[in-house]
């Protein structure tokens, strides 16, 4: 399973054309991905048959949010659902960089039957394996996008392996950040994770401002099969 980041409608179409399995829809790539617009979500969902997961992130300052921001995020979740998104992507931490359980529960209260990916906010926690234990309490969390903490994703293979074991099959892990065609096979085989997430790795010149390279997507899809 290969998930690819899309920042415009052309990305969305190219990802599906190249055989990508799922799209993570974002705006503001250089800020780590923020909530895309209503029109972008609508057109993206209409344009392709593969699942579209929508980023729900109001700003890039941190993963801690005020009550007002949580209410905004809930409205964005409702909009994404109405527009036909297959899932949403979110994460919320407290001031101690721990999973903020109360606010996460509040966000999940408006989720109705779609996938929920807890994103790489988990990599900012002190212990991602312990954070997985917390996320398992929330049955609406279906996926976790992670590089196993800070640093190089390949160096974090031992942590990713522990996270995969901790998931007990209840949450699907998605390996992301620094995943390339050179390391994806090793990553998935050694950790037991079945899904990979890529961004600049499948863009021309490895730049977030460049087009999706169909050949690079196809190569990754073939390796992961």
Dist CA 139 CA 16 (whole Å): 29
Give the CATH number of domain 2-224; options: 3.20.20.380, 3.90.1580.10, 1.10.3720.10, 3.60.110.10: 3.20.20.380
| Closest among 111, 110, 105, 75 to 92, alpha carbons compared | 105
Can you give the pLDDT of all 225 residues of the chain as single tens digits?
A: 999 999 999 999 999 999 999 999 999 999 999 999 999 999 999 999 999 999 999 999 999 999 999 999 999 999 999 999 999 999 999 999 999 999 999 999 999 999 999 999 999 999 999 999 999 999 999 999 999 999 889 999 999 999 999 998 899 999 999 999 999 999 999 999 999 999 988 998 888 888 999 999 999 999 998
pLDDT for res 169: 85
Reduced 3-state DSSP string for the chain: CEEEEECCHHHHHHHHHCCCCEEEECECHHHCCECCCHHHHHHHHHHCCCCEEEECCCCCCCCCCCHHHHHHHHHHHHHHHHCCCCEEEECCECCCCCECHHHHHHHHCCCCCCEEEECHHHHHCCCHHHHHHHHCCCCCCCEEEECCCCCCCCCCHHHHHHHHHHHCCCCEEEEECCCCCCCHHHHHHHHCCCEEEECHHHEHHHCCCCCECHHHHHHHHHHHC
Dist CA 170 CA 139 (whole Å): 8
- For residues 118-150, one letter each, b for 16 or more C-beta atoms within 10 angstroms of the residue's C-beta and e for the rest, the string is bbbbbbbbeebbebbebbeebeebbbbbbbbbe
- pTM, two decimals, is 0.95
6 contact partners, CB below 8 Å, separation of at least 6: 12, 15, 23, 24, 25, 26, 44, 212
pLDDT for res 168: 85
pLDDT for res 208: 86
Q: Nearest 5°: CA angle at 62, between 131 and 66?
A: 95
Query: What tokens appear for 189 in the block?
Result: 């085989």
Tell me the CB-side half-sphere exposure of residue 96, using CA atoms within 13 A: 6
pLDDT for res 144: 98
Q: Where are the domains of the chain?
A: 2-224
Dist CA 28 CA 68 (whole Å): 21
């Amino acid at each position: 399973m290969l998930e690819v980041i899309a920042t415009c409608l052309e990305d969305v179409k190219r990802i599906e054309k190249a055989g990508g399995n799922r799209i993570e829809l974002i705006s503001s790539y250089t800020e780590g991905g923020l909530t895309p617009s209503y029109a972008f979500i609508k057109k993206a969902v209409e344009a392709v048959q593969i699942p579209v997961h929508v980023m729900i992130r109001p700003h890039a300052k941190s993963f801690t949010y005020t009550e007002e921001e949580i209410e905004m995020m809930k409205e964005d979740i409702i909009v994404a659902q109405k527009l036909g998104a297959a899932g949403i992507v979110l994460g919320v931490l407290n001031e101690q960089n721990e999973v903020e359980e109360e606010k996460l529960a509040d966000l999940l209260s408006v989720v109705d039957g779609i996938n929920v990916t807890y994103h790489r906010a988990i990599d900012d926690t002190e212990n991602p394996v312990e954070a997985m234990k917390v996320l398992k309490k929330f049955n609406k969390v279906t996926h976790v996008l992670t590089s196993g903490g800070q640093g190089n994703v390949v160096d974090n293979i031992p942590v990713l392996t522990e996270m995969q074991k901790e998931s007990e099959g209840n949450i699907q892990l998605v390996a992301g950040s620094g995943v390339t065609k050179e390391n994806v096979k090793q990553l998935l085989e050694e950790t037991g994770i079945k899904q990979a997430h890529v961004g600049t790795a499948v863009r021309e010149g490895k730049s977030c401002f460049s087009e999706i390279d169909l050949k690079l997507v196809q190569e990754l899809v073939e390796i992961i099969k």
